[in-house]
Amino acid sequence: METVVSGIRPTGNLHLGNYFGALRNFISMQNEHNCYFFIADYHSLTTHPTPADLNGNVRQILVEYLAAGLDPEKATLYVQSDVPEVAELYLFLNMNAYIGELERCTSFKDKIRQQPENVNAGLLTYPTLMAADILIHRATKVPVGKDQEQHLEMTRTFGNRFNRLYNVEYFPEPQAFNFGNELVKIPGLNGSGKMGKSEGEGNAIYFADEPEAIRKKVMKAVTDAGPTEPNQAKPEAIQNIFQLMKVVSAPETFSFFDQQYNACSIRYGDMKKQLAQDMINYTEPFRERIKAISSDEDFLLKVRKMGKEKAQENAARTIREIRKIIGF
Ligand code: TYM
C-alpha cells in the first residue's frame, strides 16, 4: 500500500484540466491506498493575497471533491491550513533550500512574468511548501498534472537533502503519478496550451458550469479555415479540440471527426456541437451532486473536522520525529 498525497488550490472552481490531470486519479487511488487529499489554501495566498471569500472558495472545492466521488471514509480530505504542522515543516525545509534552485523553477519564472507587482517570498518558496505537503505524510505517490512535474523533482531533492544532512533514511522519494502512464496536460479552448483558471475568459470548462455556458464556450473555441490537403498535420488549436474530444467523447466519435479531418471534409461547427454535448453529458452527474452536497452544511462540517483530525494526527507524528532528528 502506497501513501498518496495531493492537493488543489482554491482559486476557482474545478475544471476538466484538474479532473483529468489529478482528481480522477484521487478517486481511483482512494480504494487501494492510504490517501491524503487536501485544499491548498496557504498556497493560494501566493497569487491571491486578499481573497474576497477564502472560506467560501475552500468550501466550494470541498463540495466538488465530494461531488466528484471522493469518500471521506476512505481518503483523508482536509484543508491545508487546518494542519499548521505543514507550516512548521515548510520552515525547516526552507533552511535547506537554496535561493538559486528556487529562482530557476519554471513556475516561479512564469509567476514573475504574470504578477511583476507582487513577486513575494511565498512565490519563491512555493516548492518548499509543496514539498512540506507531501513529505509531512511521507508520501510515495502524488497524482498531479504535467505542470507539477518539476515541483515533484524539487520535493525529491529537498527530502533527499534532509536525509543526507541529518544522516537518516526518513523521507521516501515521492513520484508524480497518473494511472501508470504519462502525466497529462489538458488544453484550453482559447488556443492556449493549458486549461486553467488564470488562462483567460472562456478557456476552461468547469464542473459547476451550466450546459448553456459550456455550449457557448465550446462554440467560441479557436479553430482555423480547415485542412486543405489530406492527412495534413493538425495545428495546435485543432489538436487541442481533438484532445478534449479524446477525453470526454466516445472513441467512435473521435475517429469519425479525425477521419473527416484527414479527408478535408470536416466542419468544425459540427465537431464543436458534438464536443459541447459530450462535455455536458460528462459533467451532468457532477453538476447534480454539487448542488445537493452544497446545501448540506452539517455534512460538510463533519467531513472537514474528520479530515483535520486524521491529517493532523499523522502530521504531528512527523513533526515530533523531525524535531528529534534535527535536535530540538
Ligand atoms: P493547481 O491548483 O494549479 O491544480 C490542481 C491539479 O490539477 C492539475 N491541472 C491540470 N492537469 C492537466 N491539465 C491541465 N490543464 C491542468 N490544470 C491543472 C495540476 O497539475 C494539479 O495536479 N501546486 C499545486 C497544488 C499543490 C499540490 C501540493 C499538489 C499544493 N501542494 C502537494 C500535489 C501535492 C497546484 O497549484 O495545483
* H/E run at residue 308: helix 297-326
User: Per-residue confidence of the chain (328 residues) as pLDDT tens digits?
Assistant: 999 999 999 999 999 999 999 999 999 999 999 999 999 999 999 999 999 999 999 999 999 999 999 999 999 999 999 999 999 999 999 999 999 999 999 999 999 999 999 999 999 999 999 999 999 999 999 999 999 999 999 999 999 999 999 999 999 999 999 986 799 999 999 887 899 987 788 999 999 999 999 999 999 999 999 999 999 999 999 999 999 999 999 999 999 999 999 999 999 999 999 999 999 999 999 999 999 999 999 999 999 999 999 999 999 999 999 999 999 9
Q: In angstroms, rounded to a whole number, what is the distance separating the alpha carbons of residues 169 and 186?
A: 36
Q: Where are the alpha helices (DSSP H) in 147-267?
A: 149-165, 211-219, 236-248, 251-262
The atom number, within ligand 1, closest to the CA of 148 reads: 20
Q: In angstroms, rounded to a whole number, what is the distance separating the alpha carbons of residues 40 and 150?
A: 18
At 199 the pLDDT is 79
Cell numbers given for 221: 473555441
Active site residue 324: no
Query: What SS3 class is residue 265?
Result: coil
Q: How many CA atoms lie within 13 A of 37 on its CB side?
A: 29
CATH superfamily of 197-291: Tyrosyl-Transfer RNA Synthetase (1.10.240.10)
- Which residues, listed in sequence order, are joined to residue 78 by a DSSP beta bridge? 38
CA of 318 to the centre of ligand 1 (A): 24
At 312 the pLDDT is 98
Instruction: Give residue limits of the domains in the chain.
Output: 3-184+296-326, 197-291
Q: In angstroms, rounded to a whole number, what is the distance separating the alpha carbons of residues 259 and 36?
A: 43
Q: In angstroms, rounded to a whole number, what is the distance separating the alpha carbons of residues 183 and 82?
A: 29
With a 6 A CB cut-off, is 184 part of the ligand 1 pocket?
A: yes
Q: In angstroms, rounded to a whole number, what is the distance separating the alpha carbons of residues 14 and 51?
A: 17
With a 6 A CB cut-off, is 7 part of the ligand 1 pocket?
A: yes
Helix axes 251-262, 236-248, angle to 10 degrees: 160
At 181 the pLDDT is 76
23-57 pLDDT tens trace: 999 999 999 999 999 999 999 999 999 999 999 99
Residue 123 · residue 46 · CB < 8 Å: yes
**Which residue carries 498531479 as its cell?**
144
With a 6 A CB cut-off, is 23 part of the ligand 1 pocket?
A: no
**Amino acid making up residue 51:** P
Residues in the chain: 328
Query: What SS3 class is residue 38?
Result: strand
- Asked if the 3-184+296-326 domain carries CATH number 3.40.50.620, the reply is yes
Active site residue 216: no
Q: In angstroms, rounded to a whole number, what is the distance separating the alpha carbons of residues 295 and 285?
A: 16
Strands (E), the chain: 3-8, 34-39, 76-79, 141-143, 175-177
Q: What is the pTM of this model?
A: 0.96
CA of 265 to the centre of ligand 1 (A): 38
Active site residue 109: no
**Which residue carries 480504494 as its cell?**
31
